[in-house]
């Protein structure tokens, strides 16, 4: 099994435990730190493995748009930006 498939199963399990629906597709971006050097790196991927790169990009853009909407709403409400 691949890393992406392992992540898909793990996320699907957590989502189910918290009452969310089934995970059909997953895209991820992970900042990793090399243990020996402290160098930063980026790990990104998606499942299913057959997902076209354009679909992966579209899901990332959709997530970014959602985050931007939350930030805009928070600013318009005069609230502090937080988590």
Question: In this structure, are residues 31 and 41 in contact, taking their beta carbons and an 8 Å threshold?
Answer: yes
- H or E segment and range at residue 7: helix 3-17
Which tens digit of pLDDT belongs to each residue from 25-58?
A: 999 999 999 999 999 999 999 999 889 999 999 9
Per-residue pLDDT averaged across 55-72, rounded?
95
User: How far is it between the farthest Cα atoms of the chain?
Assistant: 47
What average pLDDT does the structure give for the chain? Answer: 92
Confidence at 81, pLDDT banded by 50, 70, 90: low
Give the predicted TM-score (pTM) of the model. Answer: 0.74
> Domain residue spans in the chain?
3-76
Distance CA 81, CA 63 (A): 18
């Amino acid at each position: 099994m691949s890393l992406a498939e392992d992540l898909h199963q793990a996320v699907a399990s957590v989502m189910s435990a918290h009452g969310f629906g089934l995970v059909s597709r997953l895209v991820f971006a992970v900042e990793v730190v090399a243990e020996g050097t402290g160098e930063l790196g980026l790990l990104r991927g998606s499942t299913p493995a057959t997902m076209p790169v354009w679909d992966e990009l579209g899901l990332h853009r959709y997530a970014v748009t959602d985050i931007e909407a939350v930030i805009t709403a928070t600013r318009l409400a005069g609230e502090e930006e937080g988590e």
